[in-house]
Amino acid sequence: MKSILLIGLGRFGKQIARQLNELGHEVMAVDSSEAHVNDVLRCVTNAQIGDSTNVDFLASLGIRNFDVCIVAIGNDFQSSLETTANLKELGAKFVVSQASREVQAKFLLANGADEILYPEKQLARWAAIRYGSNHILDFVEMDSEHGIFEVTVPKAWIGRSIGQIDIRRRYNINILAVKQNGKMDLGITADTVLTEDKTVMVLGEYRALQKCFHI
């Protein structure tokens, strides 16, 4: 469990608050809008109405006590930038800031952000991969070159074992797990047989994954 300061409770910020709550983390939520704060009261540990560009207000929150500070201010870049800089000056351990463009990311990184969130860009990439193929069910980006895909079992693989398919040697793709009836099985071996009612979790370079699964 981590102690997290979440600043900005628009649509994206609210979703982060709900997800963090489901994962059992302690969340302090902050927004200048009373209505936005009231919307998340049930799913956060504490909440404050205030101006995050005000150094004195931020200091009163005890910034050094949080494991992570998330700046999810998407509609006012100047406020996002000032908040990011203020957090770092007050000794924040780790700052994650939201950006919509590369130029924003550069300014945020130069002013204290440790990592950048691109909610629209990341969702667009996920949607393009998920819905641009008939057999990609889910997708997790690992870095700029690698990802994990959940795929339906190709027809040519049905009834064959993982060892027989041998995609690690052919494509340098690793099968991490198989899923059946919503349950993940990590205890796979070369003898694990793939059937039509299973899906497969695979890890590899995008180019190899695209070639193997015809994405």
Domain chopping of the chain, boundaries: 3-117, 122-213
Percent of the chain with pLDDT over 90: 58
Computed from CA positions of residues 9, 12, 14, 20, in that sequence, does the dihedral angle turn out positive or negative? negative
Is the per-residue pLDDT at 126 higher than 90?
no
pLDDT bin (cut points 50, 70, 90) of residue 118 is confident
Long-range pairs for 182-190 at CB < 8 Å and ≥24 separation? 188/162, 189/162, 189/163, 190/161, 190/162, 190/163
Is the per-residue pLDDT at 129 higher than 70?
no
Q: What is the predicted pLDDT for the residue at 147?
A: 84
Is the per-residue pLDDT at 50 higher than 80?
yes
The pLDDT tens digits of the residues spanning 141-180 come to 777 788 888 988 888 889 999 999 988 888 899 989 999 8
The pLDDT tens digits of the residues spanning 5-20 come to 999 999 899 999 998 9
The CATH number fitting domain 3-117, selected from 3.40.50.720, 3.40.50.1000, 3.20.190.10, 4.10.490.10? 3.40.50.720
Is the per-residue pLDDT at 215 higher than 80?
no
Q: Would 3-117 and 122-213 be classified into the same CATH topology? A: no
The pLDDT tens digits of the residues spanning 51-94 come to 999 999 999 999 999 999 999 998 899 999 999 999 999 999 99
Averaged pLDDT for residues 120-135: 70
Instruction: Look at residues 103, 176, 114 and name the one whose alpha carbon lies nearest to residue 140.
Output: 176
CATH superfamily of 122-213: Regulator of K+ conductance, C-terminal domain (3.30.70.1450)
Q: What is the predicted pLDDT for the residue at 83?
A: 97
Q: What is the predicted pLDDT for the residue at 1?
A: 85
Mean pLDDT of the chain: 89
